[in-house]
Structure 1
Amino acid sequence: MNSKKLCYACDLVDNPALIEIYKRYHSKDSAWPEITKSIKDSGILDMEIYILANRLFMIMEVDESYTSERKQKMDASNLKVQEWEKLMWQFQQAPPGAKDGEKWLPLERIFKLE
C-alpha cells in the first residue's frame, strides 16, 4: 500500500488559557473516539499535531483512498464531527492567506533531505 505525507498549518487564538484548553482536548485521554474513528475512516493512517506559540502544524500520513474532498464530504455528513468543528472554532483562527471558512491550510514542502 502506498502512502504519502500531507502537512497543514492552523492558528489558535493567541490566548494562553485557551491554548491550554485546546491542548487538553487533544490529549490522549480527552480525544473524542468518534473523531479519531472518522479520521481513520477517511484514509488517514497517522496524524500528529505540533504547536509553536499559537501556530499548529499537522502532519498526516494518508493512504491512496484519502482526498481532502472525500474527507470534507464525510465530515459534512457526520454530526459528531460537526459538533467537534464548532467547538474547535472557539480556539482556532484562520492563518494568513486563508479564504473565508478555511482554517487548516496545506504547507508547501521546500526541502527534503535526500
Structure 2
Amino acid sequence: MIRYCLTLDLIDDATLIAEYEKWHLKVWPAVTHSIVSSGIKNMEIYRVSNRLFMMMEVNNSFSFENKAKADAANVKVQEWEELMWKFQQPLSFAKPGEKWVIMDKIFDLNNL
C-alpha cells in the first residue's frame, strides 16, 4: 500500500471552518464512491487552525491523473468540489488551480 500526505488551507474564518467540518460528517455518496473506486483504500483529514492535513493510502493501481480525469467527468463530484472551494484557499506556493499539495516525507522511524 502506498501512502500520500497532502495539505491545504481553509479560509481563516471560524464560522466557515465549522461549516466545512459539518459537511465532512456526511460526505455525499457520489464523492465517497469516487474516492473508493479510484483505488483509495483509506483517507483521513486532520485540522489544526485553518491548516488541513490529508493522509491517503492507495492501492498500486491508483493514479492522481486517473482520479482527476474521472472526477472531471462526474457532475456530483464537481458540485462537491465547487462547494468545498467556498471554504478552501490555495497554499501560497500552490500551482494555478492546485488545491491539495502533496507533502514530502522527511522522516520515517522505520527507516532508522
Q: Same fold (TM over 0.5)?
A: yes
1:99 equivalent in structure 2: 95
Q: Note the residue ranges of structure 2 that are not aligned, 5 or more in a row.
A: none
Shift >4 Å, 4+ stretches: none
After TM superposition, the score normalised by the length of structure 1 is 0.95
CA distance in 1, matches of 2:34, 2:63: 14
RMSD: 0.6
Structure 1 residues 16-95: aligned runs within 5 Å: 16-27=14-25, 30-95=26-91
What do residues 37-94 of structure 1 show as CA deviations (whole Å, max 9, x unaligned)?
A: 0000000000000001000000000001100000000100000000000000000000
2:81 partner SS: helix
1:13 — aligned with what?
11
Flag structure 1 segments of 5+ consecutive residues without an equivalent. Answer: none
- Count of residues paired in the alignment: 110
What is the DSSP-based 3-state SS (H/G/I as helix, E as strand, rest coil) of the residue aligned with 2:105? coil
Q: Quote how far apart the aligned CAs of 1:35 are.
A: 0.5
Q: Percent identity?
A: 51
Q: Which amino acid aligns with 1:16?
A: A
For residue 95 of structure 1, report the CA deviation from its aligned partner: 1.0
